[in-house]
């Protein structure tokens, strides 16, 4: 069984039993249009029944879209980016599912860490380079080498892409110059996604070391290590706090301004599911016997 804890910024708690997977969110309701974008037809009734139970309905579907597997699936404004197992990136119209373009990024064995849209460019992050594609046509606009092997999706802040690396480095890549702007080494590899809290980038290593970095100056601040273990998920943050649900069986909230510990809540089990932060409340699934 899993218990869902909701901790407000003031650290009060409420709990309720949760029996739903944390990835149960689906597309928002809209006008019913279950014609396939590519192949015609309708989805099987059994596939749509759980959605109807939750008050959702399918607007369109593409039966063959994920036949080669799916590494990443990202809404990106008026398109949806589908990155398949062959490292082919396809842009589909968000309103209809129709294919806008497709681009072969690399061989199927190449490692990628994430895709995002920035204005009219699609930013494709591999572990060793960044590709910039036209959001309209999929044409390759530019390539830039990374100074270290990226291990996480990038955090975009202004002109910078900020990566966590397997070496423990937090890497600030300047998209304008195409070069490394700054880097900070933490003890232990970084597997958790960097997040933005206030005006700073926040990162956590697998030894529990944390850092907050101003992307423009590259200055970082790190307190004495407050965690006793790493993460199986990623931190969440807003303009005021960063929240960590750790393998050391604790939930932490840090102030964005100085990384001081605002509160800590101890639990009875390592925390592995991804937490959520909304309306000044942190939601964390806590395993129970």
CA dist., res. 82 & res. 98, Å (int): 12
The predicted structure's pLDDT at residue 224: 80
Among candidates 60, 54, 128, which has minimal Cα distance to 94? 60
For 130-177, where are the alpha helices, taking DSSP H only?
Answer: none
- β-strand partners of 150: 165
The predicted structure's pLDDT at residue 47: 66
**3-class secondary-structure state, position 102:** strand
Fold of the CATH domain 65-145: Thrombin, subunit H (2.40.10)
**3-class secondary-structure state, position 172:** strand
Among candidates 38, 34, 30, which has minimal Cα distance to 47? 34
Distances (CA, A) of 233 to 33, 183, 270, 271, 285: 35, 23, 11, 8, 12
228 backbone φψ class: left, alpha, beta (φ>0; ψ -120 to 50): alpha
Which run of H or of E encompasses 47?
A: helix 45-53
* Segment 172-210, tens digit of pLDDT: 999 999 999 999 999 999 999 999 999 999 999 999 999
Query: How many C-beta atoms surround the C-beta of residue 74 within 10 A?
Result: 16
Entry pTM? 0.84
Report, as ranges of residue numbers, the positions in the chain whose pLDDT lies below 70.
1-47, 65
Starting at the edge strand found earlier in the chain, the sheet holding 241-245 runs 236-237, 241-245, 250-255, 261-266
CA dist., res. 129 & res. 125, Å (int): 6
Give the CATH superfamily of 1-17+148-289.
YVTN repeat-like/Quinoprotein amine dehydrogenase (2.130.10.10)
Which run of H or of E encompasses 123?
A: strand 121-126
User: Positive or negative CA dihedral for 44, 50, 52, 57?
Assistant: negative
Domain ranges of the chain: 1-17+148-289, 65-145
The predicted structure's pLDDT at residue 7: 55
Distances (CA, A) of 26 to 14, 22, 23, 83: 25, 11, 8, 18
**3-class secondary-structure state, position 51:** helix
CB–CB of 112/123 below 8 Å?
A: no
**3-class secondary-structure state, position 154:** coil
The predicted structure's pLDDT at residue 17: 33
The tokens describing 277, both together, are 């932060």
Among candidates 208, 217, 204, 200, which has minimal Cα distance to 256? 200
The predicted structure's pLDDT at residue 57: 83
Q: Which residues neighbour 179 within 8 Å (Cβ) at sequence distance 6 or greater?
A: 144, 147, 173
């Amino acid at each position: 069984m899993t218990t869902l804890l909701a901790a407000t910024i003031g650290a009060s708690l409420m709990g309720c039993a949760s029996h739903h997977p944390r990835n149960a969110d689906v597309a928002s309701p809209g006008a019913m249009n279950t014609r396939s974008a590519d192949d015609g037809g309708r989805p099987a009734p059994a596939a749509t029944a759980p959605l109807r139970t939750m008050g959702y309905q399918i607007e369109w579907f593409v039966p063959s879209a994920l036949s080669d597997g799916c590494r990443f699936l990202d809404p990106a404004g008026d398109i949806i980016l589908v990155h398949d197992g062959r490292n082919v990136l396809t842009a589909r119209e968000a309103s209809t599912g129709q294919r806008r373009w497709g681009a072969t990024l690399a061989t199927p064995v190449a490692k990628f860490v994430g895709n995002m849209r920035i204005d009219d460019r699609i930013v494709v992050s591999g572990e060793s380079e960044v590709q910039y594609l036209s959001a309209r046509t999929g044409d390759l606009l530019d390539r830039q080498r990374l100074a270290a092997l990226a291990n996480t999706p990038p955090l975009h802040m202004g002109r910078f892409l900020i990566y966590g690396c397997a070496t423990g480095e937090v890497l600030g890549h300047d998209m304008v110059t195409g070069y490394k702007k700054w880097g900070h080494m933490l003890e232990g590899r970084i597997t958790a996604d960097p997040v933005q809290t206030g005006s700073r980038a926040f990162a956590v290593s697998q030894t529990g070391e944390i850092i907050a970095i101003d992307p423009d100056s590259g200055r970082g601040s790190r307190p004495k290590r407050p965690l006793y273990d790493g993460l199986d998920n990623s931190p969440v943050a807003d303009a005021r706090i960063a929240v960590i649900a750790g393998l050391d069986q604790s939930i932490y909230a840090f102030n964005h301004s100085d990384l001081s510990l605002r509160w800590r809540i101890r639990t009875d089990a390592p925390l592995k599911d991804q937490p959520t932060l909304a309306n000044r409340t942190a939601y964390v699934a806590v395993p129970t016997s």
